[in-house]
Amino acid sequence: MEFDDEAEHRRLFRVETNSPQRKAVFSLEQGGSLPVKTTKNTVIQSFKIVILSNKLNLLLPFGPLAILVHYLTDNKGWFFLLSLLGIAPLAERLGYATEQLACYTGPTVGGLLNATFGNVTELIISIIALKNGMIRLVQLTLLGSILSNMLLVLGCSFFCGGIVFSRKQQVFDKGNAVLNSGMLLIAVMSLLFPTLLHYTHSEVYAASSELVLSRSTSCIMLVAYAAYLFFQLKSQPSFLTESEETSDDDEVPEISKWEAIIWLLIFTAWVSLLSGYLVDAIEGASVSWNVPISFISVILLPIVGNAAEHAGAIMFAMKDKLDLSLGVAIGSSIQISMFAVPFCVVISWMMGEQMDLNFQLFETATLFISVIVVAFFLHEGTSNYFKGLMLILSYLIVAASFFVHQDPDQG
């Protein structure tokens, strides 16, 4: 379909959805998009496009090799390393498949999908660890995912986008960025009060006040996150969309919508399988490498687990789609802090475990300072390579801190 003038660009498009009884109405003025030209491939063509077109997929054999090493040897260090290498290309392909699906769903739902599928690994690791009674591992892994997305993923996006578009200043939705910063501060507040209650010894009931506060706060956080999603997807349908100047309406997806969905499910299942094995290998890898468990949990695991968001956010930034990059990086941090963390508290409650929101003083302070730093860099609504570099260096400071930090529960 061709458009001859600006007036024609602005009219409403009515596109038949998959259901014959429904029609979806899109408006370019309200953040909608032009109808996407669909692509259909055979199974072999789809395999070539998704698997054989990326050199990083040369690491895919490390996944089966890691499982083989797990059953044939007792070397936890090698098994852990091979698993990390095997997950890396799978996580990147998750980002690719989500980007392809976003061509059909629009940037708002696409950004949320990217964050959701990127965090499947963390949720499954957390549930498996909770079943094994490894509550502290769950806390550290979720904390590391938040820090990795806020500082490393967002920093690399700003840096790479700033290098590609060095002759202009990239911009993003300032109002959306301020709202996201506020959501992160609410998450910090939710973790801060149980921690302060513990360290000030001011509990009314010493044995249960901290746990009761954590569980009630978790329920409130889940309600807050549900309201956040409703506000984005219903009340503000164009809240995460890009401006017309930065959107690439002519981009044609390489695979069809259903191909993208099938590949997303395949990659998610395989990543989840490998991630399950990692839980049993963390302690052995810590002893084998002489590295603190807190460093492995907070730094190494999230870097690989967030590879999907990392690759996706950088690709969006290098295409001058910063609103999508923020939707992936900051949106994922909000999802972990406002959904995954309280969700794990509630799940542990159902399992009879006693996970609370007291992440310890060192970890909570690290998160608080990191949120403040990110909020300052976002409040102007602009980005450049220097801001990205500062966020990356901030993450290196956090990594160095956890390398020399001995967790009290594991000391």
Closest by CA to 279, choosing from 83, 107, 99, is 83
The reported pLDDT for the residue numbered 25 is 32
- Radius of gyration in angstroms for the set of CA atoms belonging to the chain, rounded to a whole number: 22
Residue 83 to residue 200: CA distance in whole angstroms: 41
Planar angle of CA 250, 251, 254, nearest 5 degrees = 140
CA-CA-CA-CA torsion sign (274, 275, 276, 280): positive
**Could you read off the pLDDT of 275-312 as tens digits, one per residue?**
777 777 888 888 888 888 889 989 988 887 676 667 77
Residue 230 to residue 121: CA distance in whole angstroms: 24
Residue 71 to residue 78: CA distance in whole angstroms: 12
Torsion angle of alpha carbons 151, 407, 352, 189, nearest 10°?
-40
User: What residue has token string 């309600």?
Assistant: 223
Question: Is the Cβ–Cβ distance between 192 and 368 less than 8 Å?
Answer: yes
Query: 48 is written with which tokens?
Result: 């070539």
Residue 150 to residue 144: CA distance in whole angstroms: 10
Domain 54-404, second-level architecture: Up-down Bundle (1.20)
Give one word for 360, left, alpha or beta, with left for phi > 0 and alpha for psi -120 to 50: left
Residue-level pLDDT, tens digit, the chain, 411 residues: 444 444 333 333 333 333 333 333 333 333 444 445 556 777 888 888 888 877 778 888 888 898 888 888 878 888 888 888 887 788 778 777 877 887 787 666 765 665 566 577 778 788 888 888 889 999 999 999 999 999 999 999 999 999 998 888 888 888 888 999 999 999 999 999 999 988 888 888 766 888 999 999 999 999 999 898 888 776 655 544 443 344 444 467 788 888 888 888 888 888 778 877 777 788 888 888 888 888 998 998 888 767 666 777 888 899 888 888 888 889 889 999 999 999 999 999 999 888 999 999 999 999 999 999 999 999 888 999 999 999 999 999 999 999 998 877 665
The reported pLDDT for the residue numbered 207 is 66
pTM: predicted TM-score of the whole model, two decimal places:
0.78
